[in-house]
Structures are given as C-alpha cells and as structure tokens.
Chain A
Amino acid sequence: GAGVSQSPRYKVAKRGQDVALRCDPISGHVSLFWYQQALGQGPEFLTYFQNEAQLDKSGLPSDRFFAERPEGSVSTLKIQRTQQEDSAVYLCASSLEGGGAYEQYFGPGTRLTVT
C-alpha cells in the first residue's frame, strides 16, 4: 500500500505560535518514530511509540515539544510557542514490529520554518 505520509509538507509559523505536524504510518506498522533534521545534518531521534504507548521521549528538546498517538496509528507532533531554533525538517518513520527488529520507512518530512 501507500508509504508513510506527512502533512503539511511545509509550514511557516511566526515565533510564539503553536504548530501540529501529522504522520500517517504504513497501515499495520506497530512502531512509529519522530526525527528532527536540521539543515545539512543527519536526522536526530525525538521520540518512539509502540502502538499507542510512548516508550521513549528522551530526544524531545524541550517541554514545548509533545507527541501523541492515541489510537496506535496516526501520530501528531505538537510544538508550542515555536522558536527560531525549531526550524528544521521533521521526519516520521514507521516499522512493522517493535524493538527495532524491522526496517524503518520514512515519510517525506514536514519542513518547519519559524520566522
């Protein structure tokens, strides 16, 4: 079926605004990851879900970042009171099973620009 989809693809926010980024994983994939990719850098881990449980949020850079996956499928990454340093591409990846045993498939990302 379809791959991982993300929306919106591009988001411009004024500093201080809240934003919500959506990820639709591949149907049936248990694990979902969020990564942040700064310009010219490799992606960096933000958080990990297995079904609806958030098992690791150690990569979230501040308490302004919040992620959820309430029904174990679609996930939303929310950033409150955006700052310029939040400007990056936010990537979502999903995999078939938990524990990292399967390949992670990435979506196209959401490019967030904070002005």
Chain B
Amino acid sequence: QQQVKQSPQSLIVQKGGISIINCAYENTAFDYFPWYQQFPGKGPALLIAIRPDVSEKKEGRFTISFNKSAKQFSLHIMDSQPGDSATYFCAARDYKLSFGAGTTVTVRA
C-alpha cells in the first residue's frame, strides 16, 4: 500500500505565483522527508529535505513546512518560474525511500 499520499496530481500556476504540494504519511519510523524534482527522461534529483524535529526549512524559493503531530508536510514554490515545470515527488525515509505518486507542475509564462 502507498505509505505516502501526495496531492494534487497536477497543478498549473502563472509565472511569479506560488505552487503548493501536500503530503501525508502514517509510518512514524520515517526520520527524513526529502522532495525530489524530476524532468522527463531524467532521474529524480534532490530539491530540499527536512527532519521531523524541524517545522520549516527554506532554501531559496523552496520551503518545506512540516507538521509532525498531523503527519503532514508540504512544499511551497515561491515566485514560480517556467523552468520549475517538472514533476515533484515527496518522499519519506526509514532507510529506503517511500515516494508519493507525484505532482506535475506547469508554470505558464
């Protein structure tokens, strides 16, 4: 069964807008929550990650918010650019990664 649930499946945002992707998990053994960006024909590339003892982490235009009690975390992409158009996966790790189903983000110029 899927251990990490991700939504929405896809989203369209105007250039300069904010993209928000949400994920939820059940397994409390997970100790690390990365987000990956994947372009067609490429492998997933680590974008940003957070540990459960931190509620928020920001790197440039990308921010993760983490709610340990609700077992939810989200990715915010600020000032979205056409180059951000890709598929984004949340994941959770014990030692292996369990991925969400992915969100296809399209940024319209």
Contact = CB atoms under 8 A, between A and B. Distances in A.
Contact of B41 (A98, A107, A108): A108
A4 B42 CA distance: 12
Give the most central of A35, A42, A93, A100: most B CB within 10 Å. A42
B78 to A, nearest CB: 23
Contacts, number: 56
Nearest to B49: A103
Contacts of B79: none
A103 B46 contact: yes
Contact of A45 (B42, B96, B101): B96
Interface string B22-55: 0000000001101010000111111001000000
Nearest to A50: B95
Given A100-B32, A100-B94, A41 B102 contact: yes
Interface of A: 4, 33, 35, 40-45, 48, 56, 59, 91, 93, 98-100, 103-109
Interface of B: 4, 6, 31-32, 34, 36, 41-46, 49, 89, 91, 93-102
